[in-house]
Every structure is written in C-alpha cells, then in structure tokens.
Amino acid sequence: MNKWLAITVGTLFIGASSFGFYAFTSSYEQKMTTMTTYTPVKLIPAGELITREMIQEVTIPKAKHFDGALLEPESIIGKRALVPIGEQEEFLPWKLNEKKIVPTGDEQLISFPINFVESANNFIRRGDEVTIWAEYNRSPRITYFDANGQKVPFTFEEIHSNLLGDVSHYTKKVDYVEKLVEKVTVTNVKDNTGREVRDQEASTDTLNQLKRITPVQRDSYYMENFRMKPTGTPANITLMLTPEQYSKIVEAQTFQATIKVGVGNPYGDLSNLANLPVLNPIPSSQQTEKAVDKQASNEKQQAPAEKK
C-alpha cells in the first residue's frame, strides 16, 4: 500500500514539476521574445487630440518593435497626431506634437460666424492651423503709404468719397485679396446647435465588414474617408489670436471684406517622412470591397465543412 502510494505521489510530483517547468519556460520564452506596447484602437487622423479611449495595450514580438516608440500611455495621451497613425503602428515621438489648444501669453479665444464656403468646404477641424484671408468683392482695398513707408490711416469712406484731395505724394497699393494672418490654431468648429463638427463614425454594418479585412485595409478605408462625412455644417469657428492678429481681421472687415479661412496640408508636417523606408501601397476602396467580399465568400464555403 505504502509502495503504491509513494509511486502515485512521486508520479504526481514529477508531472507537476514537468508542467511547472514547461509553464515557466514558455512564460520565460514569451517574455524574452515579446513585449507590451501601445497602438491606436483604429486609425487616428492627423490633428486629432489623442485620448485614453483611442489607444490600446498590445503584445507584439520584440523583433517588430520600433526603437524609441512610446511605451507609457501618459506620454501619448493629450498629444496630437502629426500624421495619420494606423492601428498596427506604435506611437513614435515624431508622429506626435505637443501643440495645445489653450491660449498662452497675450493670445485669446475669439469666435467668428462662418459658413460652408468660408470654411474650405467644411474641411476644417479642431486643432488645424489655418490662414485668414480677406476678399474684397465690392471694391478693392486701397491703401496709401507715406514717404517713410508708414500706412496712412484713411478710412474706407474717406478713400471712396473722392474727398481726399491730392494724394499723389503717397504710394498707392490696391488689393483684391489679402493674407491677414497665418498659422492660426483652430480651437473649435461648431454647428448651429453648438456641437463640435467631427467626422461621422462608420455604421454598424460597415464596422462589421471592416473587422473581416486586414488592419492595413482598414487604415485604407479611414484614410480615403478622411473628413468626407462631417457631423454637421459649421456655423462658428473659434481661433486662438493675439490682439494684433484680431485687429487686422477687424480692420479688413471695415473695408467690407469677406473673411475666409484656408487650411493647408491637414495631415500636418510631413518633413519627417523624408528619410523613412518606402512602404507598400495601401489598397484602394475598390480593392478593400473586393477583400471583404472574398472573405465573406470563404466563410460561406468553410461553414458546411465545419458542420461535417
């Protein structure tokens, strides 16, 4: 009896030891070959303020890790995407910037009414840097400068009343379009209900389809639909301006100018991309749709086989 008990206990001990050793070596191997990092839940467009809900903790092979990628959520949250970041990409420092949308120094937040055309066909979003233009539609803006190059403070009414007298000793400048200020940060773009204008989320059906294709193809979908489906039409835009910048805009309005807002490259500064390796092209929307259809067809074909 004692002999069989000893054999049984010994066998269990050896089995437990073997399992423990296997679990230890597997865990050790995984620990040595994989690591934890952070990637987007889905593609983050350029200019987006990154929140905790937009990032996820993932485990990847160490061989796929990029040196310098940010490994702490605190170093990612609250920053803005400088370029679009795909769902399989780590957060590299050059992809993010520290630009905030709160005033500093003598800057102030000032709101203006705006319409669809004046907001670059509804392409402007919170966080963009824009240029403010004055368009003189009714009559050109005429400015006079004295011999020292200083602007003579004539009003719109004085200039167009023909009561200025002899102005031949002044230098005359005529503008139909004038750049007032540039690199101005947009802090809000709101519709007439006071809601922020954003991109619409994909429908449930579209999201289910996106789950059945590759991450690269999902990135392709979000890139091609970037700012194509806004949640509303802009009614007010809030800009971060200095008193001097604001004065230029107000002065242009006294000359009956139409104020327009222009946005350059919405993907941000891409100069950091110059020395990066060339990546494979992202599939087009047509290729993405074909991939979804092919995946669905494969699933239907596999279903009967699984039942057998």
Q: What domains are defined for the chain?
A: 2-99 (3.90.1210.10), 108-271 (no CATH)
SS3 at position 222: helix
Query: 110 forms bridges with which residues in the sheet?
Result: 239
Reported as a single tens digit per residue, the pLDDT across 57-85 is: 999 998 889 889 999 999 999 888 877 78
Can you tell me the distance from the alpha carbon of 193 to that of 110, in angstroms, rounded to the nearest whole number? 18
How would you class 275 by CB atoms within 10 Å of its CB: exposed for 0-12, middle for 13-18, buried for 19 or more? exposed
Q: What are phi and psi of 43, to 5 degrees?
A: -50, 130
Cα distance between residue 282 and residue 104, in whole Å:
40
Closest CA to 48 of 242, 233, 226: 226
pLDDT by residue for the chain (308 residues), tens only, comes to 556 655 665 566 566 566 555 555 555 555 568 899 999 998 887 777 788 999 999 999 988 898 899 999 999 998 888 777 888 899 999 888 876 677 888 999 999 888 655 667 788 888 788 899 988 877 788 888 988 888 888 877 777 677 777 888 888 888 888 899 998 988 889 999 999 888 777 777 777 777 787 877 776 777 677 677 888 888 899 999 999 999 999 988 888 888 888 887 655 544 443 333 333 333 344 444 454 455 555 555 555 554 44
